[in-house]
Structure 1
Amino acid sequence: MTTPTTTTIRPHSTGGAASMPMAERDDSGSMVRRILLGSQLRRLRESRGVTREAAGYSIRASESKISRMELGRVSFKQRDVADLLTLYGVVDEAERESLLGLARSSGHAGWWHSYNDVLPGWFQTYVGLEAAAARIATYEVQFVHGLLQTEAYAEAVIISGHRGGPPRAEIERRVELRMQRQKLLFSEQAPQLHCVLDEAALHRGYGGRQVMADQIKLLLEFSELPHITLQVVPFAHGGHVAESGAFTVLRFAERELSDVAYVEQLTGALYLDKREDVASYQAVLDRLSDAALPPAESRELLSRLWHTLLGGGG
């Protein structure tokens, strides 16, 4: 059996996206700094025995805002950071200036903020973390991962999630966003991506046979890149080793940053950064990887499915 001819793949573009700047990892720097500052503020608060409610009162904010600040999900006002540092008893000028400097440099908006019209607030956090990660490990059961989708497949998935379909302009913007995210895989400091994909996702015919054939061909091309590992959990495996649906574990180059497990839900998402929580998801991912076909055999399965979709051939 022949395998599809592969070419050097490049970032996809759609409409006006071709003229957009690459989703360079520099854009993720502000996200990293916000997370770093938030984690340091949380450690200071906890070490002083200050509640989130009391911290919020000191800066005229709610307890939930303190929680969002400590998770790095909102921008920081220098006045708020200064007041919190005073509350937490930080008087050393060098330490204060270091943290205030993080607050000043964390205000740059990433490229994804220009998609606020189609990007839910809870998912903005994920896109920023994705752009900042050094390693992305993910399990998918329903769809091909968003970073690995073709434009046509992405459009079909987006349409399938809405009764009657969203407005055409919204579809185009969301596809454009997905293709912009994909450019991360072609950046100079592209993350390591390990995708474990349930075979069921490959048999859900979003967009029809040709769309699926093109999608599988792209997966084959992506699987040849040195920083991408693609494994398929075959139907033949039988049992299901995942205690949950799809999820992603993100790891960062900065040692100060905790790994994050991301679990998407219907109208929101969970971001878990406690060591024991992340370890649980990583353990599931390890078991899934063990149950999946090795990369070379996964490619063979993809190639067979590609031939089947095209009507066979030897």
Structure 2
Amino acid sequence: MSPADRQSYRRRKIGVALRQFREARGWTQDAAARRLDRSQASLSAYENGHRAIRPRDLEQILDRYGVRDVQQRQQLMDLAAQGRRDGWWHSFEERQDPTVVDFASLEADASRIRSLELHLVPGLLQTESYARVLLGSYDGVLDEPHDVESSLQFRLNRQRVLRGDDPPRVEWVIGEAALHLRVGGLEVMREQIGALREASQLPHVDLRVLPFTAGSHPGVDGPFSIIDVVPDELMQVVAVHSLSRSWYIDDPSNVGTYVRVFKKLQSLALSRSDSCERLDQIASEK
């Protein structure tokens, strides 16, 4: 399957909406295709998320379907425009898992990112040495061949989002365990904690440490990221990653649960200034 035919979150989101609009009018795909002056195959590809749609084509389809909700139209138009942008991640599409590449593209277009990490330093904050050791630990246990160097370069490229001209607002809650896990030894961890300390000073970054003393908390099920896909929180998606798969959650009620959990975790975490002091303390102990 070529990169142009691969599904992505944006394409799936647009496709589901188009199918719902068509079905609301009681049209079959074949009938809709005739009214839209398109082939049934192309309409099917849009609805299944296998083909990117040009904003002008999307606008025409929305007009024919009678979609008048301004906010709904703008959300879909934003997704269509984002999905057609060139980005550094496209050069990795043949070398990295498609879901990982898709996630990086969402990060790059996000206006706000909120993430929980309990046991590892977040990928956007990992030093090259830390990331290399961590990625190397998967050798021999994954079903697919694992190119450490390609994965490393991909991860380092993701970090561009923090240093761009218009970076998103990024908020992290990082478990204290991540700061004590000796990935690569003392020198690697000293460098990594120093990088966290430096990143915490960026004006668009809110980094907080969740201390061991916080006890039981609503984030024990594992890490997640909340991404504002379009500005002003008009569309949000939760990304959940595991060893074998990743998935997105965008039902508003479910997203709302994650938002409340993250807010609770921030209240249990150390303040920004106290988190910096904890980083300094841990660094001095290593």
Q: Deviations over 1:111-134 (max 9, x none)?
A: 201012332111222111100101
- What corresponds to 1:186 in structure 2? 163
Contact in 2 for aligned 1:192/1:227 (Cα 8 Å):
yes
Q: Is residue 2:217 matched to residue 1:240?
A: yes
**Residues 308 and 282 (structure 1), Cα distance of their counterparts in 2 relative to 1, 3 Å cut:** same
Matched, 1:68 2:49: yes
Q: Which amino acid aligns with 1:189?
A: D
Tell me, yes or no, if structure 1 residue 148 matches structure 2 residue 125: yes
Inter-partner Cα distance in structure 1 for 2:183 and 2:115: 21
Deviations 1:21-76 (A, max 9, x none): xxxxxxxxxx99868855753552354356899989x733797972436xxxx523
For 1:203 and 1:180, the matched residues in 2 are separated by 26
CA–CA separation in structure 2 for the residues paired with 1:115 and 1:197? 28
Aligned length: 269
| CA–CA separation in structure 2 for the residues paired with 1:252 and 1:101 | 9
Shift of 1:240: 2.9
Determine if contact 1:261/1:272 at 8 Å carries over to the other structure.
Answer: yes
Tell whether the 8 Å contact from 1:249 to 1:261 is kept in structure 2 after alignment: yes
Among candidates 224, 236, 241, match of residue 264 of structure 1? 241
Structure 2: distance between partners of 1:80 and 1:299: 50
Aligned with residue 59 of structure 1, among 34, 37, 40: 40
**d(CA) in 1 for partners of 2:44 and 2:144?**
37
Aligned to 1:209: 186
Residue deviations 1:167-206, cap 9 Å, x none? 9992222111111111111111001110000111112111
Alignment CA distance shift 1:208-1:166 (3 Å): farther
Alignment gaps of 5+ in structure 1: 1-30, 93-97, 310-314
Residues 66-103 of structure 1 show CA distances to partners (whole Å, capped at 9, x for unaligned) of: 2436xxxx5237999699669x64599xxxxx999996
Task: Report the alpha carbon displacement of residue 239 of structure 1 after superposing the two structures with TM.
Answer: 1.4
- Say which SS state the counterpart of residue 279 (structure 1) adopts: helix
Tell me, yes or no, if the aligned pair for 1:36 and 1:257 is still in contact at 8 Å: no
Q: Is the 8 A contact 1:246 1:264 kept in 2?
A: yes
From 176, 181, 196, the equivalent of 1:219 is 196
CA distance in 1, matches of 2:105, 2:238: 14
CA distance 1:144–1:80, shift in 2 (3 Å): same
- Give the C-alpha shift of residue 274 in structure 1: 1.2
1:45 aligns with 2:22: yes
Aligned to 1:113: 90
**8 Å CA contact 1:59, 1:83 repeated in 2:** no
Higher relative contact order (CA 8 A, sep 6+): 1
**2-structure distance, mates of 1:262, 1:178:** 17
User: Using the alignment, how far apart are the partners of 2:233 and 2:218 within structure 1?
Assistant: 31
RMSD between aligned alpha carbons?
4.1
Is 2:153 aligned against 1:176?
A: yes
* Residue identity matched to 1:220: R
Q: Which of residues 139, 159, 181 is equivalent to 2:116?
A: 139
- After superposition, the Cα gap between the structure-2 partners of 1:64 and 1:300, relative to the gap in structure 1 and judged at 3 Å, is farther
CA distance 1:121–1:167, change in 2 (3 Å): closer
SS in 2 for 1:205: coil
Q: Secondary structure at the match of 2:159?
A: helix
TM-score normalised by length of structure 1: 0.71
Q: Name structure 2 gaps, 5 residues minimum.
A: 1-7, 34-38, 69-73
Q: Is the 8 A contact 2:112 2:169 kept in 1?
A: yes
Superposition map of 1:96-107 within 5 A: 106-107=83-84
Counterpart contact for 2:118–2:175, Cα < 8 Å: yes
Alignment-derived partner of residue 136 in structure 2: 159
The SS at the match of 2:139 is coil
> Percent sequence identity over matched residues?
34
Q: 2:276 aligns with which of 279, 299, 308?
A: 299
SS of match in other structure, 1:259: strand
**Structure-to-structure mapping, 1:271-310, within 5 angstroms:** 271-309=248-286
